Structure 1
Amino acid sequence: MFEIFLVMLCGLSSRVLAKDAVSKGKFSSPVLENVRERQLVLEKNQTLQLDCRGRWDIEWVFPSGVPKSYPGAQLERSSCGKRANQFCSRLTLSPALAQHTGAYRCRYAHKPHRNTSVYVFVADSQRPFVKVQRESPAVVYMKEGENLVFPCKVTNPHTKVSLIKFPNSQIEPDQRNIVWNSRQGFVIRNSTLSYIGLFSCKTVIDGTTYTNTFLTHRPVNKINDVYLNSTGAVQELQGHMLALNCTVTAELNSRVSIDWSYPARANNSASIIKRIMPSRNRMAFYSVLTIRKLSKADGGVYTCHVESGPAKRQANTTVTVHEKPFIKIKHRDGPVVTAHAGQKSFRLSPKLRAFPEPEVIWLKDGKVAAEQCSRYRVDGYSLLIRDVAEEDAGVYTILTGIQQFKLFQNLTLSLVVHVRPQIGEKAVAMRDPGTIPRASRQALLCTSYGVPPPRLRWSWYPCPPRGRPARLA
């Protein structure tokens, strides 16, 4: 008996759970109760009434033609269902006008993706297009990979509309590449450059012609180059002016946005001037950032950000602000440096930091180096010696100065040139000494030279017995 009761209880429980599951699934999205079709057609000045039911709090989304403050739109909220645990909302729109044509959406406030909608046409024979023609054509953008849409939506789904390209070329829809949609307008799926120009949607009602005119524009987003007027790091003195010019080159018809990020941007310390210079085959955009009086807080990275549609580029530089001019100089490898005679080149290069750029003169043994020998050349802060020779040894002095601020500083270093040892007698043809009597005294001379002075060592080879090779003693 107990087993039968348990089976009945389990069956009852499963039916209750199933019923709850169906109930929950039924209102997983809100439901429009008084709508059976996906679209409604009303006449102008009629009343639109929509009832929406759901499990949670409900909100409405109206077409763009219905202002939020429209007095004819009223909402009534109530609890509904057998246990009053559901949410109901009634939308009343009266009077409905042509510009109210569009999709009306009912959705959960906390889950906007859970929604249901109906498209409402409010037919008006004197206003066949939802949007009234303006004085100037509306701009329609052609974007690569996207449909070209002429948004001439109508207030009556049965309105016959033609697409005309100026001056009088009619484009027939084929429902494949050229599609007419009363809720969107004309959709061109594979648009080409032939669709650049002036177009109009045209309809005739009771002998009256109505049009919506559009001008197509193909935006160009390719950025060719972005560069600053300073290719390297920028150094300036405190209180002086900084001017950075960001130049952008792009194709014709480009629309470019230029923005700057810099250390003191929050203080609005910089003024920015922008200019556009079109030419035959390109566009040049300029943005000049100027800070009249630099402070230490203005030091850091300055970045020019450029956008053209989805395309983005940037260029940056580092600005260092010095409190006062300076010269700092010291030896790189000590006060004495060494080179070797015969080297193709040798560089005397101390460590030198200065701002502004100093004047540099190199002396050799108290005289201007470049005037003593054509093999000496000043390269930046360094002295370059080509084809090093023994006579290049000496005392070198670098003179640095910033005349504008009366700053001067010198540094002296010595150059030692090593010369490979040489034996003078090897350069002279040796005569055969001939036969020397035994026990006689002979003098052998060896003359050598080198830097540093070489050391000499004598070796002799005794005469071997006849038939045997000589060996070193």
Structure 2
Amino acid sequence: MKSALICLLCGFYGVLAKDTEQKGKYNVPNLDVKTQQLIVDANQTLLLSCRGRWELTWAYPSGVAKDQVQVEESRCGRTSQHYCSRLTVSNSQVQNTGAYRCRYRHRPLKVSSVYVYVTDSQQPFVEHPDMSPDVLYLMEKQPLVIPCRVTHPNVTTTLVKVSFLPQLHNPSLKPDQMNIIWNSKQGFTIRSPTFYYIGLFFCQTVIGDVTYKSRNYFVHRPVSNIMEVYLNGSGRVQALKGKSLVLNCTATGELNTRVTINWDYPGKVNNDAFIIRRLVKHRTHMEFYSILTIPKLQRTNQGVYTCRVSSGENAKQKEVTVTVYDRPFIRLKPRNESVLEVQAGQKSYRISPKLKAFPAPKVIWLKDGMVAAEQCSRYHMDGNSLVIRDVAEEDAGKYTVLAKIQEYGLYQNLTLTLVVNVSPQIGEKKVSLQDPGSVPRGSRRALHCTSHGVPPPHVQWLWHPCPSKGRPAAPQA
């Protein structure tokens, strides 16, 4: 019994060990190449085989043409439990240089790779010098890679900057493996590029007595500083149904800045608007215009219009609310009461009724039937309001505001009454102009008091009887 149990445990342990071994062995696909790089002569055939536990797929350099590639797939292993794939690249060329990767079709992160150099003594650079210049971007706080890859790992190169001054030689830069790093699979990497690296560059190498050049690389530093964004309408824009709407979004940026201007607005999905873009270069800055036009407004076009300006990682925006009215109108009424009161001597007083109209009406103020501004220099208009400076009693009266939109034959007026309150004043410095002196007992004498005020003041007389000897007299009414 014990021996049978021991055999059963041994068999179970063997199955576990075998399963663990299989999982570890093909956790990633297995290439038949034991090194990390291969060197193949041009015009030879490249053969790579891959084996794994699941279905396989290949990735290879973009320079490999479709008619060069052949892939053969099969099941392999003692019980055909594995997947095998064979990649054939016929008539290999220098542009086929690069990384060849075998990976699981449904597990793309499980990958094995080998870097293949397709070498040609007459063409040490992967990319031919006759190819058009490649544009590289110098980004702030990022390394710059000039990808002049070579077709053999032992090729040494220098980086050359093109000088456009005929009297100067083209300066060359050698790798120092600190800031300027050379890698045959990547090219030159500049860890901390400065403005010096803006311009035209190429790589070169000398084989025997022959100098070979790579293609040209134009290094450009994109500028993305958006200085300001303007909209021709700010806050709110009003328009009539059936009329056209024109919004102009203007962005200013530094020289060499390139921006993208996009609009968000009601009816965008219906293509209600058409947009015209213009670029104007000034001596110190750039101006970008995006003009949005809706030829025939509908009520569905009202809402918020947003102009979004972006350049690189920078972005700014401006927005405006558009209101669409069915027809022109004037609404005019008192702000509070139709009778207004003010105190004489006040520095200024504003008569400001509630006026809402579209389009903007022409407004005229009258005082007692005559144009107010022509009657007195202390009257002036501020917007739709009438302002009276240094208020005086003569400013009281009837004020009429006339609002008209002559184009549409709309007129409306409103009359307000202004009451100017005047503090009571006594005309004489004393009750009588002359001292009445002594008056015979029992006789009649008239005393006069002249007063003025708005509203009319109430006059009360007080008299002081002659004081008794030794004590003051109290006034009596």
User: Which TM-score applies when normalising by structure 1?
Assistant: 0.86
The amino acid across from 1:190 in the alignment is S
Q: Which residue of 1 aligns with 2:189?
A: 187
Show the 5 A alignment for 1:267-416.
Answer: 267-416=270-419
Kept after mapping to 2: 8 A contact 1:242/1:294:
yes
Show the 5 A alignment for 1:66-215.
Answer: 66-67=64-65, 70-80=66-76, 84-134=80-130, 136-166=132-162, 167-205=169-207, 207-211=209-213, 212-215=215-218
Structure 1 residue 348, shift from structure 2 partner: 1.0
CA distance in 2, matches of 1:354, 1:305: 31
Relative distance call for 1:389 and 1:47 in structure 2 (3 A) is same
Find the partner of 2:57 among 56, 59, 64. Answer: 59
Relative distance call for 1:135 and 1:37 in structure 2 (3 A) is closer
Q: Which residue of 1 aligns with 2:166?
A: none
> Is the partner of 2:275 in helix, strand or coil?
strand
Tell me the number of residue pairs that the alignment of Structure 1 and Structure 2 aligns: 469
> Is the partner of 1:371 in helix, strand or coil?
helix
CA distance in 2, matches of 1:418, 1:21: 105
The amino acid across from 1:127 in the alignment is Q
Relative distance call for 1:114 and 1:465 in structure 2 (3 A) is farther
- Which whole-Å deviations, capped at 9, do the CAs of 1:177-236 have from their partners, x for residues lacking one? 111111111111121122222221112345544322222222111111111233342222
Kept after mapping to 2: 8 A contact 1:464/1:470:
no
Q: Which residue of 2 aligns with 1:48?
A: 46
CA distance in 2, matches of 1:420, 1:76: 111
Relative distance call for 1:459 and 1:13 in structure 2 (3 A) is farther
Show the 5 A alignment for 1:181-260.
Answer: 181-205=183-207, 207-211=209-213, 212-260=215-263
The amino acid across from 2:274 in the alignment is S
CA distance in 2, matches of 1:302, 1:88: 59
Structure 1 residue 363, shift from structure 2 partner: 0.8
Structure 1 residue 368, shift from structure 2 partner: 0.9
CA distance in 2, matches of 1:341, 1:221: 61
| Identity fraction in percent | 54
Structure 1 residue 165, shift from structure 2 partner: 1.8
Structure 1 residue 102, shift from structure 2 partner: 1.1
CA distance in 2, matches of 1:383, 1:336: 15
User: Which TM-score applies when normalising by structure 2?
Assistant: 0.85
Kept after mapping to 2: 8 A contact 1:32/1:50:
no
CA distance in 2, matches of 1:61, 1:144: 32
> Structure 1 regions of 5+ residues with no counterpart?
none
> Structure 2 regions of 5+ residues with no counterpart?
163-168
CA distance in 2, matches of 1:464, 1:12: 143
CA distance in 1, matches of 2:4, 2:435: 138
The amino acid across from 2:325 in the alignment is H
Relative distance call for 1:299 and 1:31 in structure 2 (3 A) is same
Q: CA RMSD in A?
A: 3.7
Structure 1 residue 382, shift from structure 2 partner: 0.7
